[in-house]
Amino acid sequence: MASLSHVLGEYSPESPAYEFARNTAADVIAQLRTAQQLCEMGASVDVHVDCGYECSQVLEHQQITCSSSNNLNIMYHEAIADSGAPVTATHRARFGDNADNYDLFLYTEDDILLSAVQVMSYFRHSQRLHAQGLSDEYEIGFFRQEINLTSPTLDMVVWEETTVGPEALDVVLLPPPSAKSGHAPRWYVINNRQTHQACWMALQHKILRIRDERPQFFNSSATALLNIETQASEVFWVLHWKKIIPLVNYPDFGIRHLGNLQSFEVDWRGKTTRPVQHVYSELLQLRAQKAQSFHELESSRSYGINVNRHDRLDRLALSTADPVRCSRCAVVSRIDRLARSTASPLLTLLYRGGHD
């Protein structure tokens, strides 16, 4: 396998390909590793890398393959201008053209990293929302996080979605206690402001519904459809989706912003950047306060907060010393069965090259 430095040596420092490789190739390679892992789990994965550079000459040297060679296809598109609007319009059109061919669709900017576990967690929780009749209004989301290099413990921090309260990050019980859905309610974190996650996913049923009800969304020439084309999170606003994250494993839905820009510049104790675990603790406290009014919850002796007796994952996470690890293990134990039980291709990954 050729090293990245060896590959860069083949280009002049003045060339666009060299600039792309120096700035973003490592990020895209990390994304391709996620696609590789999903393939090894049994999924069929198609990856489209859209960029305005000679990115294939750099990335193909990494030789990212899957033991099931026919189940991982990486395609490079280099005839796209280095601008967010044409790129995002292209990816939307690709979704519409392939709506009948995949179970799950993912678009992300070039410096966002989702793990295979996070993709499968999204898949599982989104299926649950759909089964409960909630997917028309709500959508499982993520939040961006970075490593704070000014922190003595190198905390994972969030700098955009940091305020806990009714006007920002609130907690809700879905389905509501008054609803007769036949499903056990679960606690979710809901973002009542504009989301910032630089990516979006959707199960096939949502893509098909968008295609039927709003076909212009997939029109590659409709570049003015989104207010800020380079921010994939604007899709939530355009499609009127309410972003929610399962409270029980909220930290697991923090996706890495590989640029890691904010954390070089702010004090780790400042208000601009907050450790993810601090935000999570406040969300759990808010849940405890709201739970008292429902009269459906029992007290947890070990944590002094309320636990929904119907939510086994909730009780499992809160009864261990490490809730993140516990909830992640619960997900991992089901990944292989979930992926291999899917007859049709599970995932299409669409990335864009260039800059935000």
355 pLDDT more than 50: no
Q: How remote is the C-alpha of 276 from its chain's centroid? A: 16
- For residues 307 and 107, the model is more confident at 107
269 pLDDT more than 60: no
- Measure the CA–CA gap between 325 and 343, rounded to whole angstroms: 30
- Measure the CA–CA gap between 355 and 110, rounded to whole angstroms: 8
pTM: 0.76
pLDDT band at 268 (very low <50, low <70, confident <90, very high): low
**pLDDT tens, position by position, 297-352:** 444 433 333 434 334 333 333 333 333 332 332 323 233 333 333 333 344 454 33
234 pLDDT more than 70: yes
- For residues 351 and 168, the model is more confident at 168
Q: What percent of the chain has pLDDT over 90?
A: 37
Q: What is the mean pLDDT of the chain?
A: 74
Instruction: State the pLDDT at residue 179.
Output: 66
pLDDT band at 106 (very low <50, low <70, confident <90, very high): very high
Instruction: State the pLDDT at residue 117.
Output: 95
- For residues 8 and 52, the model is more confident at 52
Beta bridge partners of 348: 46, 105
**pLDDT tens, position by position, 3-44:** 333 333 444 555 554 554 456 778 888 999 999 999 999 999
- 174-177 contacts at long range (C-beta below 8 A, 24 or more positions apart): 174/132, 174/134, 174/138, 174/244, 175/132, 175/134, 177/294, 177/296
